Amino acid sequence: MFKHVLAASIAGFVAFAPVAGEAQQRTLTVYSSLDEDQAKALIKGFEAKHPQIKVNAILGSTAPIIARVIAEAASPQADIIMGNAVSALMAADARGLLLPYKPAQYDKVAPVMRDGRAEPVWVGIDAWASSLCFNTVEAAKKNIPAPKSWADLTNPIYKGQITMPSPLSSGTALLAVNGWLTVFGEKGGWEFMDKLHENVSKYGHSGSAPCRQSASGESIIGISYATPGVKSINEGAPIQIILPSEGLGWEIEAAAIVKGAKNLADAKAMSDWTSSREAAEISAKFLPITAYDDIQSLPKNYPADEKSKLLKMDFGKLAASREAVMAEWQKRYGVKVPPKS
Amino acid sequence: MTLETVSLSVAPNVEPSRASASARPFLSLSGLTKRYGATTVVQDASLDVMRGELLCILGPSGCGKTTLLRLIAGFETADAGSIRQDGQEISAHPPEARDFGIVFQSYALFPNRTVAGNVGFGLEVLPMSRADRAARIRELLELVGLEGHSQKYPSQISGGQQQRVALARALALSPGLLLLDEPLSALDANVRASLRDELRALQRRVGVTSIMVTHDQQEALSIADRVVVMNAGRIEQVGAPAELYHQPANLFVARILGEINALPVSSLTGTCVESQGLSFRLAEPLGAGKPGAFLCFRPAAVTLANEGMLAGPGIGARVTATAFLGDRLRLVLLPDEAGAPAITAEVPFPRFGAPPAPGDHVTFGVAPSQLFLLDDHG
Amino acid sequence: MAEVAITAHRPTRQIMPDLTGKALPPVLLLVLGTVTVLPISALLIRAFLGRDGGFVGLDNFIRYATEPGLAVAAWNSTSLSAIATVIVMALAFPYAYALVRTRMPGRGFFRVMALLPLLAPSLLPAFGLVFLFGNQGWLKHWLLGESLYGPVGIVMASAFYAFPHAVLILSAGLSAGDQRHYEAARALKAGPWRRFVSVTLPSCRYAAISAASIVYILVFTDFGIPSVVGGSTNVLATDIYKLVIGRFDFEMGAVVGVLLLLPAVIAYGIDWFARRSQRSMITGKSVPIQPERLVWRDAALLAFACVVTCVILGIIGMAIYGSLVRFWPYNLTLGLQNYERLFTDDDEFRALGNSLVLATGAALIGTTMVALSGWLVARKLGASGVRNGLQAVAMVPVAVPGLVLGLGYVFFFNNPVNPLHGLQGTMLLIMLCTVAHFYTVPHLMAVNELQRLDREIDMAAQALRVRPAGSARRVFLPVLLPTLVDIAGYFFVNAMTTVSALIFLFTAQTRVAAIAVINLVEGSRIGQAAAFAVLIMALSMVATAIQMVLRGLVLRSQSWRRRTT
């Protein structure tokens, strides 16, 4: 082990001089919010195709990655964002930080996974949807039934048993909120959230945390998305992933090239790769919904009917109303005093 | 710089006799002024220090004496005035470019260095051999009587010993000027007295021009060639101890050099002085009367009627307190005259018979030659 | 050569102007300012700018003030920090007192225990607290029905996190007393309690004020704790996260950043005031404290220290336990499976190596800078304006959340206009950021230690024609050496665990272990995250052990510290 650490330490010191060494190899800096294993698999596939390019990946959550891109605007460090929520990418695009590019196989990508503009800025990689994580063991202890729909969550029996992320800091929460506004309409959506608010014990910062908390019995129901639930089940958590009957708010994770990319040609190569069928087949090992409609897959323990429950959503409108929704949410629930559980 | 130019001996730089003969002062301050914001701590101080002499700056705390010393050392920069040392203008020089050694009240020894390490601190930057340096350190430690302690640390020796180390350290570079900032104040009374005498002897032997700051008039009078009295940032008077004691320039100087009876003068005609109902006779008539001046005499100038002849008419008084001072007796006398102030007297302890006791009635007088008139300010 | 006269007079030496005293303070101020105040300002200036970069005056402040929730967040921050400060001081004072002013057995052991919370990434105690007091926690009923998630959790975790800082500062302050004061008080027939109230308390007033200020500011600006155990309780530090990260509103985030600086500004005023009144308390003539044996007091404090230590060990032990079980709380089979990935995944391994590089570099750079700034401030070198500037700049980082510092670094260094633009993306920049982030406490430690020497020491050296640099090397450095070992250790362990300032700065090559822990949590690999956090703590423990051995060796070599031979 110590040899390894020593070698790593030396490598760390080499990082003092970022351009030293590896002169024959080009580097490409990729920011990604995809699932870590998925991102690494996609990068591995890319490097296999382009052995002369070394990918330097910075992985992080949706919002911090975009915040970093915005903060670095004066001198962009990233070449390409390989996977981030489209709504967040739009915030960077609104600041003029993204470069339009139409990847080689753009037209083969499922229409819903495309930007749609004449000069597309993003191209979809996969999509993820709202879901509930439900702890069966704790629920049995308290004799609480499993919810079947979003509306069920407003039942007083769930008071203090639900956690969800705050849409002010989590893209996952935002897609749930957008889903509710789509299902129940503008007015009905907020009325639903008013009632839900009575039952929520905690609004956190991380989109995956509610599912983790459900998995460790800290709460019974977590409003989250499927992937953390799948991972927890694989590790042995007594939870069930519930896809509420009204339908699921969802969002696309897409790739976009950063304006001012130092390695533009290679960034374009990466964009071509991520929108290829081959890459979609890799992603399909992690998520059922990818850029290619016809690829059928279902990762282990992943809920089977996610794709069929996706709501029809107007992403353009939702992106435009992003700040207004946040402001309204802050006004209504931002100063919540949590109810005693 | 070469080794030869550094005096490695502790022999006198210059014979003291020659020093007194030479008219040119070794250190000359003129018009030194130092302000901190609106307060002037040293005002227009001018002073000549002769080669080889030991000068004491005496004054109450806050009078500016330490600031004056720090100006000479260069730890403070004067707002006005000049300092010449050995013929060179040095007021713009930083401390390390000046030629002095200094001893502080707090000793300020380096806690992490041995006695030898402290003494040798300044020698280590000089181009001299290890053996020469060791010899020099030994010589200095012998000089202050600490031969056996060279490997001890400051925390392992007494206060008196620490101050000797500080002294040896200050002399290590054979400075032309030795500055002593209340060097004895932190010591016990008996250590203090013996170290005072040692300090004086050592200064004579080495012959280094020295300036010592103190608030203790006895220390100043017993050790100094000349004393500078300071008050509120100003130099009040400079002179030999006896000169100051007997001919103080003003009441402030008179008071700081020792206890004194000071009575406001109400009238002065010829040799007759009236003060608060008491009358005294002077040895010789003074000039025109100075209203507001004080008639002064030391307690020792008082004689009791039965001790011998009184020069003038005696003053009747009651003894209110006595204090035994060994061979002398201190008395507080309250004259019979209504409204007259209490007088402090010091008389020889009577060899025979009972000494005066509180409640006794005595008659006293003051020798005319011991009376002088002083103003409040110089 | 025959002309050379051996003269009894000493020539006036040609002395070069003293560069150390004149040039070093401004240079150090420039360096320290460049890694702290300038980047922080680069972000905070945005509080007064619109999104397009134009000056908008106080518009952002008004916009923020009218936003619902501000008052609640501000009140939560203020009150919870105050409660945590009171609790920490109430625990840390007797603890520090027991360490340096009594003859309680096992003082060395208890000193190490008090510092344990410093060694763990902040997620570790958060896990520990959840495992103990969360909804599935073993001791959940101790909270009497209160939920951990909320004010209770924030106060508990903050107290755990701030406790070692308070113990460090207080024990330094308490060990700097004068034995003669106690002898004098005894002569005046003062009993132990009176001696404590009339001598001990006043003598450590300054340390107590520093400790309380630091604790308050640490809690006030910390983001990690409220985000994990804060539930829905909004505080200013999480507001800034929501504004900057969630809404990409850097301008409003800067407004909160400015608000977060307020306690530090107040604390700096208090510190300045306390420093003025402290001046005469300790002199070089002080006799070191020799604690007396008081059986009842030592026994009571021993019991107290045992309880505190048990709490610390309980929280950390619980987290270690959590890293060893298969799936908390449903599958408690013990095993090392969570550690396996750390030994098989190259990226995680590299992160661990990077952490060691970062920690070593931060310790070297930080210790060097602190030694210089502490010396210049404590020994009053250079112009007073520059010196006060240094002291003020050194006080800033503690008041700044890591997020603000990290973002500031991006805005400041990742700008082609900046001549230091080349540092962007390097490990050196991450080291500097880490040094800046943790600068305040070591700086105060160095200043306090060096202020204990007489002011006249410098003058004595000057009179011996030894330059400030010479006396620094020959006197102050040896005196400061044990403290410098501690300071290096402080930088090292903090660099091992810090996250918040680095999330905007790390690159693929410079990703460190603490970031890897966050990534693991985000990837829902809680067990592996806990395991990695435990591993980081273990490395920090090794570093601390080395630090203590070094300190012991230094102290042993410095026989002058012992009063008798």
**Chain C residue numbers touching B172 (CB-CB < 8 A):** 464
Interval C318-340 mean pLDDT? 89
DSSP state string for C150-168: THHHHHHHHHHHHHHHHHH
Interval C465-490 mean pLDDT? 91
Which of B88, B112, B186 minimises the CB distance to C479?
Answer: B112
| Residues within 8 A of B (CB atoms), C 260-299 only | 283-285
Q: Do A204 and C227 touch (CB under 8 A)?
A: yes
pLDDT of residue B327: 86
| Residues C370 and C246 placed together within one structural domain of the fold | no
| Residues C272 and C375 placed together within one structural domain of the fold | no
pLDDT above 70 (res C347): yes
Q: Do C9 and B112 touch (CB under 8 A)?
A: no
C333 touches A: beta carbon within 8 Å: no
Judging contact as 3 or more Cβ pairs under 8 Å, the answer for A and C is yes
**For residues C457 and C147, which has the higher predicted lDDT (pLDDT)?**
C457
CA distance C301 to C196: 14
* Complex-level ipTM beyond the 0.95 threshold: no
Closest of A36, A202, A68 to residue C529, by C-alpha: A36
Q: How many domains does chain C have?
A: 2
pLDDT above 80 (res C16): no
Q: Do B73 and C13 touch (CB under 8 A)?
A: no
Chains in contact with chain B (at least 3 beta-carbon pairs closer than 8 A): C
The ranges assigned to domains in chain B are 3-100+175-256, 261-374
| Residues C546 and C426 placed together within one structural domain of the fold | yes
What is the residue-averaged pLDDT of chain C?
86
pLDDT of residue C287: 65
CB pairs under 8 A between B and C: 128
pLDDT band at C362 (very low <50, low <70, confident <90, very high): very high
**For residues C312 and C205, which has the higher predicted lDDT (pLDDT)?**
C312
What's the fold here for domain A15-127+251-303?
D-Maltodextrin-Binding Protein; domain 2 (3.40.190)
What is the residue-averaged pLDDT of chain A?
89
pLDDT band at C563 (very low <50, low <70, confident <90, very high): low
| Residues within 8 A of A (CB atoms), C 102-131 only | 130
In three-state secondary structure terms, B252 is helix
Q: Do B95 and C560 touch (CB under 8 A)?
A: no
Dihedral of alpha carbons A38, A41, A47, A53, sign: positive
CA distance A20 to A9: 16
Q: Do A218 and C134 touch (CB under 8 A)?
A: yes
- The fraction of chain C above a pLDDT of 90, given in percent, is 40
CA distance B119 to B109: 9
Q: Do A9 and C356 touch (CB under 8 A)?
A: yes
What are the pLDDT digits (tens) for A301-324?
A: 999 889 899 999 888 888 888 889
Cis amide prior to B127 (ω within 30 degrees): no
C555 touches B: beta carbon within 8 Å: no
Which of A55, A218, A335 minimises the CB distance to C69?
Answer: A335
Residue A108, min C-alpha distance to chain C (Å):
31
CA distance C68 to A188: 23
CA distance C118 to C44: 29
C50 found inside a domain: no
| Residues C306 and C407 placed together within one structural domain of the fold | no
Q: Which of C3, C10, C466, C483 to mutate to test the interface with B (most CBs of B within 10 A)?
A: C10
**Chain C residue numbers touching A72 (CB-CB < 8 A):** 410, 414
Chains in contact with chain C (at least 3 beta-carbon pairs closer than 8 A): A, B
pLDDT of residue A20: 42
Q: Do C519 and A201 touch (CB under 8 A)?
A: no
Q: Do A338 and C232 touch (CB under 8 A)?
A: yes
| Helix axes C513-522 and C477-497, enclosed angle (nearest 10) | 20
**Chain C residue numbers touching B152 (CB-CB < 8 A):** 565
Q: Could you report the average pLDDT of every consecutive run of 10 residues in chain B (378 residues)?
A: 39 43 82 93 95 95 93 93 94 89 91 93 89 95 93 91 95 94 89 92 94 94 95 94 90 91 85 84 67 82 73 82 90 90 90 85 87 77
What are the pLDDT digits (tens) for A250-263?
A: 999 999 999 999 99
Which of A12, A217, A228 minimises the CB distance to C357?
Answer: A12
| Residues within 8 A of C (CB atoms), B 148-177 only | 152-156, 166, 169-170, 172-176
Q: What is the DSSP pairing of strand B54-58 with strand B226-231?
A: parallel
| Residues within 8 A of C (CB atoms), B 97-116 only | 97, 99-102, 104, 106-114
CA distance C544 to C551: 10
* Burial tier of A80 (Cβ tally within 10 Å: 0-12, 13-18, 19+): buried
Structure-block tokens of residue B231: 């008050």
Structure-block tokens of residue C102: 């009594």
| Residues C214 and C253 placed together within one structural domain of the fold | yes
pLDDT band at C276 (very low <50, low <70, confident <90, very high): low
pLDDT above 50 (res C281): no
**CATH 3.40.190.10 residue window(s) in chain A:** 15-127+251-303, 128-249+316-333
Which of C233, C329, C524 minimises the CB distance to A232?
Answer: C524
Q: Which of A29-38, A89-98, A232-241, B274-283 has the lowest mean pLDDT?
A: B274-283
| Residues C501 and C527 placed together within one structural domain of the fold | yes
C474 touches B: beta carbon within 8 Å: yes
pTM: 0.86
Radius of gyration of chain A (CA): 21
**For residues C379 and A44, which has the higher predicted lDDT (pLDDT)?**
A44
Q: Do C15 and B156 touch (CB under 8 A)?
A: no
**Chain C residue numbers touching B99 (CB-CB < 8 A):** 10, 12
Note down the domain range covering C355: 336-560
B13 touches C: beta carbon within 8 Å: yes
**For residues A340 and B355, which has the higher predicted lDDT (pLDDT)?**
B355
**Chain A residue numbers touching C235 (CB-CB < 8 A):** none
CA distance C562 to C551: 15
| Residues C242 and C376 placed together within one structural domain of the fold | no
Main-chain phi, psi angles of B339, to 5 degrees: 85, -5
Cβ count within 10 A of residue A1: 9
| Residues C347 and C325 placed together within one structural domain of the fold | no
| Residues C422 and C446 placed together within one structural domain of the fold | yes
**The CATH number of domain B3-100+175-256, selected from 3.40.50.300, 2.40.50.140, 3.40.50.2300, 3.30.70.100:** 3.40.50.300
pLDDT above 80 (res C408): yes
CA distance C513 to C244: 24
pLDDT of residue C286: 59
C341 touches B: beta carbon within 8 Å: no
pLDDT of residue B376: 77
C5 found inside a domain: no
Q: Do B170 and C463 touch (CB under 8 A)?
A: yes
Check which CATH number belongs to the domain holding C342 and give it: 1.10.3720.10
Closest of C236, C235, C253 to residue C244, by C-alpha: C253
Interval A89-108 mean pLDDT? 94
pLDDT of residue B232: 93
| Residues C343 and C223 placed together within one structural domain of the fold | no
Residue A297, min C-alpha distance to chain C (Å):
21
Structure-block tokens of residue A321: 């109303």
Among all residues of chain C, which has the CA nearest to that of A30? C508
Q: Does domain B261-374 have CATH number 3.20.20.120?
A: no
What are the pLDDT digits (tens) for C246-262?
A: 888 888 889 988 888 88
CA angle (B295, B298, B300) in 5-degree steps: 140
- Domain A128-249+316-333, architecture per CATH: 3-Layer(aba) Sandwich (3.40)
pLDDT of residue B320: 94
C244 touches A: beta carbon within 8 Å: yes
| Residues within 8 A of A (CB atoms), C 17-36 only | none
- The fraction of chain C above a pLDDT of 70, given in percent, is 94
Q: How far is the CA of B329 from the CAs of A244, B303, B305, B323, C378, in angstroms?
A: 110, 12, 15, 6, 53
Domains B3-100+175-256 and B261-374 share a fold: no
pLDDT above 60 (res A9): no
pLDDT of residue B23: 67
Interval A237-252 mean pLDDT? 95
| Helix axes C440-451 and C151-174, enclosed angle (nearest 10) | 20
pLDDT band at C1 (very low <50, low <70, confident <90, very high): very low
Region class of B81: left (phi > 0), else alpha (psi between -120 and 50), else beta: left
| Residues C445 and C309 placed together within one structural domain of the fold | no
Among all residues of chain B, which has the CA nearest to that of C10? B6
pLDDT band at A32 (very low <50, low <70, confident <90, very high): very high
Closest of A247, A251, A253 to residue A309, by C-alpha: A247
pLDDT band at A341 (very low <50, low <70, confident <90, very high): very low
Residue B162, min C-alpha distance to chain C (Å):
11
| Residues C192 and C67 placed together within one structural domain of the fold | yes
**Chain A residue numbers touching C353 (CB-CB < 8 A):** 4-12
C525 found inside a domain: yes
pLDDT of residue C130: 86
